């Protein structure tokens, strides 16, 4: 799994856990919905650390909590 795949999966997982959709996450995090949607398009590179920071704010978690997930355990080198 790539870092981008793991990031996408983690955001999806957290949205499901918090009963949130992309629009609700964008409001909670203060990020434009198109920025969050672009993470899920295959042309987008991994989001910046600043974007992840604001996504974490939207979920009410720390960056450490975001990356403390099985999705990040076995990343590919790609």
Structure-token pair, residue 17: 């856990």
DSSP structural state of residue 46: P
Dump pLDDT digits (tens) for 6-65. 999 999 999 999 999 999 999 999 999 999 988 888 666 789 999 999 999 999 999 999
The answer to whether position 76 is within a domain reads no
Q: Domain total for the chain?
A: 1
Q: Where are the extended beta strands (E) located within 1-78?
A: none
Q: What is the CATH classification number for the domain harbouring 13?
A: 1.10.260.40
pTM for this predicted structure: 0.89
- Contact between 49 and 57 under an 8 Å Cβ cutoff? The reply is no
The answer to whether position 78 is within a domain reads no
Give the range of the structural domain holding residue 58, as residue numbers without chain letter.
Answer: 3-71
Binning pLDDT at 50, 70 and 90, where does residue 76 land?
confident
The answer to whether position 37 is within a domain reads yes
């Amino acid at each position: 799994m790539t870092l981008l795949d793991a990031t996408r999966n983690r955001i999806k997982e957290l949205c499901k856990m918090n009963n949130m959709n992309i629009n609700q996450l964008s409001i909670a995090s203060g990020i434009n919905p198109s920025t969050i949607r672009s993470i899920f398009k295959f042309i987008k590179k991994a989001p910046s650390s600043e974007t992840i920071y604001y996504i974490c704010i939207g979920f009410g978690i720390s960056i450490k909590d975001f990356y403390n997930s099985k999705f990040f355990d076995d990343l590919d080198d790609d």
